Structure 1
Amino acid sequence: MIVIRHRLYQALLGGVAIVLGLVFLGTKLVAYYTRWNDDLGISVFNGKLPVIPQYDQIADPSRGSLILDTEVPDPVQDASENTSNESASTFTAAPTGSSGSLQEFSPEWNNKSTWPQWSKHQKPTDSSQATTTNRISHERLDRHVHSILNFRDEWPYQRVSCPAGIAERYQNLQDTEDNSQVRYFFALNPYEALDALPRLMSSIVETVKYLGAKHCAISIVDGGSEDGTWEVLNALKPFLDKMGVRYFLATSGHKILDGGDTSQEPLANLRNKALQPLKAEEVEPLHALAGKYSPKAVVVFLDDIAMCPEDILELVFQHVNQGAHMTCAFDWILNGTVFRDVWESRSLAGNTFFEIPHDGSLSGSDDMFFDDRQNKPRYDSFLPLQVYSCWGGMVTLNAVALAEDTIRFRPAEQTDADCDMGEPMLLAKDLYSQGLGKILAVPSVNVAYSDHEATKTKQIRGYVGDHVKTLNQKLDEYETVQWQTAPPDMIKCLSHSDQLAWTEWTEST
Structure 2
Amino acid sequence: MARPSIDSAPDDSTPETPLLPRYRSDLAPSEGGEEKRPRRVRAARRKGPWANPKDDEDDSGEYSGLRWMNGRRKVGCGACAFSSARCILAASILTLAVVLAALACLVYFQHFWTVYRVYGDPLVPDPHEVEGMAERFPPILARNTSAVEDPVGPQAWRLQAIEDELQARFSEMGLPGMTTLPCAGISANDTSLSSRYSALRRTGPSQPRQGKTLLALNLYNSQDVLPSLSHALLTVTSFLDPSTVHVSIFENGSTDQTTLALAHLAAALTALGASHTILSDPRKTNWKAVDRITQLSVYRNVVLAPLERDQDFDDVVFVNDVFVCPSDVLELVFQRKEQQADAACATDWIANKGFAKTWNPSVRFYDSWVSRSLSGETFRRQEDFLATLRQGVNVLFDQPGEERYKARWDKGLPVPVYSCWNGLLALDARPFTSTSISPRYDHSSSLSTASHKSWSRDHPLVSDKPARFRSAVDNRGECAASECKLIAKDFWSRGFDRWLIVPSVRVTYSEPVYSNPDLLSLVARHPPSPSPSLDNEERIDWPSYTSPEEVVCWAWTPGPHVDFEWARAVWEKPYQTAA
Structure 1 length as normaliser, TM-score? 0.65
**Alignment partner of 2:252 out of 208, 212, 223:** 223
Confirm or deny: 8 A CA contact 1:147 1:156 kept in the other structure: no
Aligned equivalent of 2:266: 237
Distance 1:258 1:486, change over 3 A: farther
Deviation at 1:251, TM superposition (A): 1.7
1: CA distance between counterparts of 2:433 and 2:126? 19
What does 1:78-227 correspond to in 2, within 5 Å? 100-106=124-130, 109-110=133-134, 145-146=166-167, 156=177, 159-165=180-186, 167=193, 168-176=195-203, 178=205, 183-227=212-256
Indicate conservation of the 8 Å contact 2:135/2:264, yes or no: no
Residue aligning to 1:300: 317
- How far 1:363 moved relative to its partner? 5.7
Where 1:209 maps in the other structure, the secondary structure is helix
Secondary structure at 2:515 match in 1 = helix
Residues of 2 paired with 1:237 and 1:507: CA distance? 39
Change (3 A) 1:345 1:360: farther
State the Cα distance separating 1:492 from its structure 2 match.
Answer: 1.6
> 1:345 maps to what in 2?
371
* Shift of residue 258, structure 1, vs aligned partner: 4.5
1:471–1:262 Cα change, 3 Å? closer
Amino acid at match of 1:164: G
Q: 1:475 aligns with which of 524, 529, 534?
A: 534
User: Are the equivalent residues in 1 in contact too, given 2:178–2:228 (CA < 8 A)?
Assistant: no
User: Which residue of the partner structure matches residue 490 of structure 2?
Assistant: 430
TM-aligned CA distance change 1:259 to 1:350, over 3 Å: farther
The 10-residue stretch of structure 1 (398-407 or 323-332) with the greater mean CA deviation from structure 2:
398-407
Could you say what secondary structure the match of 1:341 adopts?
coil
Q: Give 1:260 shift.
A: 2.7
Distance 1:155 1:269, change over 3 A: closer
Task: Encode CA deviations 1:382-410: one digit per residue, 9 max, x unaligned.
Answer: 11111111111001111122133522111
CA contact (8 A) 1:329 1:442 kept: yes
Q: Secondary structure at the match of 1:184?
A: strand
Unaligned residue ranges in structure 2 (runs of 5+)? 1-109, 111-122, 137-162, 353-361, 435-464, 556-560
Structure 2 vs 1, CA of residues 416 and 338 (structure 1 numbering), >3 Å: closer, same or farther?
Answer: farther
Q: Unpaired segments of 5 or more residues in structure 1?
A: 1-61, 63-98, 113-141, 281-288
Render the CA deviation track for 1:257-307: whole Å, top value 9, x for unaligned.
754358997221111110101112xxxxxxxx44xx24xx10110000101
2:520 to 416, 436, 461: 461
Deviation at 1:215, TM superposition (A): 1.1
Q: Which gives a bigger RCO, structure 1 or 2 (Cα 8 Å, sep 6+)?
A: 1
**Counterpart in 2 of 1:379?**
409
Query: Share of identical aligned residues, percent?
Result: 30
Do the aligned residues in 1 keep the contact of 2:235 with 2:326 (CA within 8 Å)?
A: yes
Instruction: State the distance in 2 between where 1:147 and 1:448 align.
Output: 25
Amino acid corresponding to residue 427 of structure 2 in structure 1 = L
Match of 1:357 among 383, 395, 398: 383
8 Å Cα contact 1:346/1:388 also seen in 2: yes
CA distance in 2, matches of 1:143, 1:416: 54
Per the alignment, in what secondary structure is the counterpart of residue 250 of structure 1?
Answer: strand
Cα distance, 1:410–1:263 mapped onto 2, change above 3 Å: closer
Which string of whole-angstrom CA distances, capped at 9 and with x for unpartnered residues, describes residues 301-352 of structure 1?
A: 0000101111111111101111111111000011662100011111011111
The alignment of Structure 1 onto Structure 2 pairs a total of residues equal to 368
Distance 1:269 1:399, change over 3 A: same
CA positional deviation for 1:375? 1.1
Q: Specify the alignment match of 1:394 in structure 2.
A: 424
Shift of 1:468: 2.8
Tell me how far apart the structure 2 counterparts of residues 155 and 106 of structure 1 sit (CA, whole Å). 21
Name the counterpart of 1:57: none
In structure 2, distance between residues paired with 1:263 and 1:488: 28
User: Measured at CA, do residues 307 and 463 of structure 1 come closer, stay the same or move farther in structure 2, by a change above 3 Å?
Assistant: farther
How far residue 245 of structure 1 moved from its aligned partner, in angstroms, is 0.7
- SS of 2:475's equivalent? helix
Question: Which of 553, 562, 579 is equivalent to 1:493?
Answer: 553
Deviation at 1:172, TM superposition (A): 1.2
Moved more, 369-378 or 496-505: 496-505
Q: CA deviation at 1:110?
A: 4.1
Query: How many angstroms apart in 1 are the aligned matches of 2:345 and 2:291?
Result: 31
Structure 1 counterpart of 2:506: 446
Q: Is the 8 A contact 2:131 2:266 kept in 1?
A: no
- Identify the residue that residue 68 of structure 1 maps to in structure 2: none
Q: What is the CA deviation profile of residues 99-154 of structure 1, one whole-angstrom value per residue up to 9, with x for unaligned ones?
A: 75332135665469xxxxxxxxxxxxxxxxxxxxxxxxxxxxx999316999xxx9
Amino acid at match of 1:357: E
Contact in 2 for aligned 1:191/1:223 (Cα 8 Å): yes
TM score, norm. by length of structure 2: 0.57
Secondary structure of the residue aligned to 1:374 is helix
Q: Is this contact kept in 2: 1:147–1:157, CA < 8 A? A: no
Matched-pair contact (CA < 8 Å) for 2:132–2:263:
no
How far the C-alpha of 1:362 sits from its partner, in A, is 5.0
Indicate the RMSD between aligned Cα atoms, in angstroms.
3.4
Following the alignment from structure 1 to structure 2, what is the Cα–Cα distance between the partners of residues 263 and 438? 28
Aligned equivalents of 1:344 and 1:394: distance in 2? 13
CA distance in 1, matches of 2:332, 2:372: 19
Larger radius of gyration: 2
